[in-house]
Chain A
Amino acid sequence: MIATLISTPIGIGVAWLLARRDFWGKPIIDAVIYLPLVLPPVVTGYLLLLLLGKRGILGAWLAEHLGIVFAFRWTGAAIACGVMSFPLLVRPIRLSIEAVDRRLEQAASTLGASPWKVFATVTLPLALPGVLAGMVLGFAKAIGEFGATITFVSNIPGETQTISSAIYSLIQTPDGDAAASRLVMISIGIAVLALIASEWFARRATQRLHGN
C-alpha cells in the first residue's frame, strides 16, 4: 500500500519523462525501469541487498549518517515491492500520457498555462484512467510480491511479510491450511475489488472525456 502510494508520484514523473521528453540515455533508463519485470525476482532482491543492505553500498552510508536502515524492516519490504511493481505502474501511465493530444497542451500554453500547469490541468486529468490502471496493477503486484522481498528483507511476520510470503509460511506449517485459505480468499477479494474499482474509474473518466 505504502509502496504504491509513494511510487505513484514518482511513476507519473518518470512516465512523463519517458513519454514527452527525449534525452541522452533515455533507452538506458527505460531498460533499468523495466528490468525487474524480466529479471528473476530473487536477483532483484539480492541486488537491493547489495545496494541497501546494512553493509550495502548505499545502505551502510545511510545507516551511518542518517540512521536509516532498510534491511529486515517494513520500509525495506516497501522498497522491494515498489521496485518490483514499478514497471507495471509506469507502463499504463506512460501509454496514457502519450495518448494525450499534444495540441490540447499547446492550446493551454497559449492561454497562459506554464508547462507545469499544463501538466496539472490538462495532461494529468486526461491521463487519469492510465494512472489509476497503473496504480491498481502496481498495488496488485506489490501485495503479491514474494521473491525480491524475501531475499532482501526476509519474511518476518508483522514486519516484512507480504500476503504471498504469509501464505507460503502458513502452507509450510502443520494445521496452517485454514489460515492460509483465509488469506487466499482475502487476496482474491482485494484483487477483484481493485480491478472493479479501476474499471469503474476508467469508465467514468472516459465518459468525462467524450460526452456531456
Chain B
Amino acid sequence: MVRAPRDAATAWELIVLRVDVFKQLGEFSVNVAFTSEGRVTGLFGSSGAGKTSLVSMIAGLVQPDRGIIAVDSAVLYDGNARIHVPPHRRRIGYVFQDARLFPHLSVMQNLDYGRRMNQLARDAVAETRITDMLDIGHLLNRRPGGLSGGERQRVALGRALLSQPRLLLLDEPMGALDEERKAEILPYLKRLRDEGDVPMVFVSHDADEMRQLATQVVMLKRGRVAAFGGTEILPRIIAAA
C-alpha cells in the first residue's frame, strides 16, 4: 500500500497564531498585535521589550488587560467575551530560560510529567523519537541536579514536546548558556523546526540566533511591534545597547 508522503508544508500553513493584546505593567505597557503563520515565529527585541510578558500571556500565566489570543480556531483569551483558558488547558508547551525541571523527579519522570497530567496514552515511538532527536536517552535515570545547563535545556525541551502541545514557546532557551553550550543546543532546535511537527514561538535578543531559526519575525520595542516580516528585517549589525 502506498501512502502519500505527509506534506509538511501544507500542515504548517494551517497553524495560525493570532495575538492582539494590551497589558499595563506598572510604568510599562505591552500593546502588541500580529498574526503569524510561520513554523517558527521569532519574537525579537532587547531585554525589556516585553518579550517574556507576551509569551507568558500566550501561555496563560499572565492575563492581559484586554485583547485576544487564538491558535487556529481555538480562542485562548478574549477580553470582551471574558474567556481566559487556564494554562493547564491550553496545550501550549513552554520552555523557560531556566529549564525549571522538577528537582524531585528523575529525568524520565520529568519527561513523562506532561503525559501523566494530560492522561495521554503512553507513546513509546514518540518517546524514542524525541529522546533520540535531543540525545537525552542516556540521561533518563539521572536527577536534574546532576545535569549540565545544555542537558537540562534539552530535557526541558523534551518534556514540553512530550506533553503534545499545539504550540511550543521557547523563551530564550539559550539565554542562560555560554557560547559553547549555545552551539550545542542550536542544532537541536533546528532539527525540531525541520523534523518536528509543532509550531514554535522563539524568543531571543540575539539577531544571529533569530536568523538561524525563525521563519517569521516580530520585532518588539518597548512593548510595541516595531516591525513584522521575514528574517531580512533583522539588523545586520547589532547596535551597542
Contacts and interface: CB of A to CB of B under 8 A. Distances in A.
Interface residues of B, number: 29
Interface in A131-187: none
B38 interface: no
Contacts of B98: 103
A104 B102 contact: yes
B117 A103 contact: no
A208 B105 CA distance: 8
A109 B102 contact: no
Interface residues of A, number: 24
A106 B92 CA distance: 12
B103 A209 contact: yes
Contact of B146 (A103, A109, A209, A212): A212
Contacts of B92: 110
Nearest to A117: B117
Contact of A112 (B91, B102, B142): B91
Interface string A108-137: 111111110110011001100000000000
A10 interface: no
Given A106-B87, A209-B103, A111 B159 contact: yes
Q: Interface majority SS on A: helix, strand, loop or mixed?
A: helix
Contacts of A209: 103-104, 145
A101 B118 CA distance: 22
Interface of B: 59-61, 86-94, 96, 98, 100, 102-104, 113-114, 117-118, 142-143, 145-146, 159-160, 163
Highest count of chain B CB atoms <10 Å: which of A103, A108, A109: A109
Nearest to B118: A112
19 contacts: A103-B98, A104-B102, A107-B94, A108-B113, A109-B60, A109-B86, A110-B61, A110-B88, A111-B88, A111-B159, A112-B89, A112-B163, A113-B88, A114-B86, A114-B88, A115-B88, A211-B145, A211-B146, A212-B142
A110 B94 contact: yes
A211 to B, nearest CB: 5
B114 A111 contact: yes
Contacts of A103: 96, 98, 100
A104 B145 contact: no
A186 B88 CA distance: 50
A108 B102 contact: yes
Contact of A210 (B93, B100, B145, B159): B145
Q: Which 6 A-B pairs have the closest CB atoms?
A: A111-B114, A107-B100, A110-B94, A112-B117, A112-B118, A113-B117
A64 B23 CA distance: 57
Contacts of B60: 109-110
Given A117-B117, A211-B146, A212-B143, A110 B59 contact: yes
A110 B168 CA distance: 10
A118 B103 CA distance: 14
A210 B100 CA distance: 13
A112 B113 CA distance: 9
B88 to A, nearest CB: 5
Highest count of chain A CB atoms <10 Å: which of B59, B94, B100, B160: B100
Given A109-B61, A122-B102, A208-B103, 10 more contacts: A104-B103, A109-B87, A109-B88, A110-B87, A110-B94, A111-B88, A112-B163, A114-B86, A208-B143, A212-B145
